[in-house]
Amino acid sequence: MTIEKPWSASSKLNPLTRAPGHDMSEMFPQSPEAAAELATNLTTVFERGQEVWSKLLEAAPGPDKQVRVDPFNAGPAFAELWLSMMSDPNKLAEQTLKYWNDQAELWRRAALRAAGTEVEPLATPARGDKRFADPDWSENVVFDALKQSYLLTAAYFTETAHSAGDLEPGDRKKVEFFTRQFVEAMSPSNFFATNPQVLRATMEERGANLVRGMEHVLTDLERGHGTLLIQQTDLEKFKVGENVAVTPGQVIYRNDVMELIQYAPSTDKVQARPVLICPPWINKYYILDLNPKKSMVQWLVDQGHTVFMISWVNPGPEQAGKEFVDYIAEGLFEAAARVLEETEAEDLHVASYCIGGTMTGAALAYLADNPAHPLSGKIASATFFTSQFEFSDAGELQIFVDDPQLEALGEQMIGGTLGADKMASAFNMLRASDLIWSFVVSNYLLGKDPFPFDLLYWNSDSTRMPGKVHKYYLETFYRDDALALGEMRLGHSLLNLGKIAIPTYHIATKEDHIAPAASVYRGVRLSGGDRRFIIAGSGHIAGVVNPPAGGKYQFWSRDDDAFPETVEEWRAGATETPGSWWVDWDSWLKTLNDNRTIEAQQPGRRHNALGAAPGDYVQVRFDTPVPAPASSGPMPE
């Protein structure tokens, strides 16, 4: 007669079992040789750990350098939360009592399940949460209870941060953000002893996975010069100009701020008006030219557009003195003038992305106030990809912008530039589970080599930023909201978005955590001229880089000119269209052109080509020296 064990959740499932008949205890070393191999590998892990600590200590600030205890200035917000909570202790007591009652109920259900009774889970991961995808998180009673206990605790902290006390909106946002960072960091999936997948891999590989993981840690510390710079993809599998950023073209102009790329036509006839793209200077431009299947640049060329791209310099000490106005004058305005000269067109379309769009919006307001400027009347339309003009509630990046943090940012400038890792870390924190902790588990605990993925290669190919430009941008837009309030000046002009009279096309994305759709929409309402606004599916990157051939996502649009007060009201009257918004944008551009076409021209007809696309500036990684600017020769008469 078979006697069932009292901890069984079913007739054949015990706490160390992830499936009937599969006992994780069998993973433990079954022979002296296996045990010896495990011991040897764990000894190696310990030795590598000592090397890691040594490198961290070498990179640590010396006793003569002042270290900010609270670099994100989060302490005051949490102190305010605590004081506010203490003013209403009954509400806190109710929330805490509910939490402990839920925990007690969880253990009651876990005990029933261990005894063989089927029970419904008390807490389940959110849809799309990949941390608990391994079957043991659900099928193993112990790990299932651990997972649910964590989810209950995470919900308790998150809800407390969201609703407890009476905080200013800025303080509330900061409390919520850093609470989420803590909650995601403490997930049991992030730790060796509480992750069943890691435990199983360690037993199966006799600890070899941990040895490889420590080697990855050491490599990442060397790449980051003492800072842990997590490798998100196989960096050796990609090379700019070979398998990313490969659309054919020529660099036709270069100064010490940007290179101007003209792409080769793929059609005999092209639209009469060229298109100039102004990407953000905070990233490399080739997110819009990732590979032939995903390239917006190649797709536009194939639709018969003559496309130019600004490729911003990866700045070094030579650019330390550059200011925001220089990026407009020597970047956007200079590029536009060169495009008009090269094509002999009467005017052009400008498209811009993220903070490149914010700068373009300010530049257009400046042109509207300066009709004598050479470019006044030369920009026929402007398109904005996830670009904000109004920053009263501008998303989670706003929590990094207050006076103490801006002061700390100034202390991090080296040679007048801000290191690429500083902003890259901030962006990764916005999606910490996906962009930080998933790689900690995969690279360091499971010892896997990063998977080659072009988007993550681009994400890791960060750029430095001129200190003055970046500080001005954060202060003027994120902190002061000066453009939206009509308080921003360029030269002698007080900028007014309402003076912009040219047609504009604005794209927001539904799940954008960097430029939320509501924030983009508020900026659109401040603008003048004929405006077309759409909301695309997905987020800040995938919602923009969504080629029609992929058949993914959708977009919402309206054919009327109504711009009600909120984006929710606008969305209620919008029509959903499956697929990519690129087709809609192409039609809009061609309608503005009256579909007038001319003979296609090869790049460099008037400006001598300086080299093949993607050019020199985009090749410079954050950890390599910046080349001296090459002369582009005199402007043609």
- Which H helix or E strand runs over 575? strand 575-578
**What's the CA gap between 34 and 260, in Å, rounded?**
60
Q: CB–CB of 520/559 below 8 Å?
A: no
**Number of neighbouring beta carbons within 10 Å of residue 87:** 10
For residues 412 and 158, what is the distance between their CA atoms, to the nearest angstrom?
Answer: 31
Let me know: does 600 contact 269? Beta carbons within 8 Å: yes
What are the Cα distances from residue 48, in Å, to 52, 205, 442, 448?
6, 18, 18, 17
Using DSSP, state whether 494 is helix, strand or coil: strand
Annotated catalytic residue: which of 201, 354, 484, 508?
354
Residues 617 and 259: beta-carbon distance below 8 Å: yes
Return d(Cα 321, Cα 278) in angstroms, integer: 21
Please say if 278 is a catalytic residue: no
Torsion of CA 579, 585, 588, 589, to 10 degrees: -150
CB 456 within 8 A of CB 238: no
113, burial (CB in 10 Å: exposed 0-12, middle 13-18, buried 19+): buried
How far is 636 from 603, CA to CA, in rounded Å? 15
The H-assigned helical ranges of 323-402 are: 324-326, 334-343, 355-368
Question: CA 595, CA 482: separation in Å to the nearest integer?
Answer: 38
Task: Return the residue matching tokens 């401040």.
Answer: 526
Strand partners, 249: 263
Distance CA 469, CA 409 (A): 13
Alpha carbon of residue 190 to chain centroid? 22
Separation between Cα atoms, residue 302 and residue 280, nearest integer Å: 24
Q: How many CB atoms lie within 10 A of CB 42?
A: 15
User: Which residues are known to be catalytic?
Assistant: 354
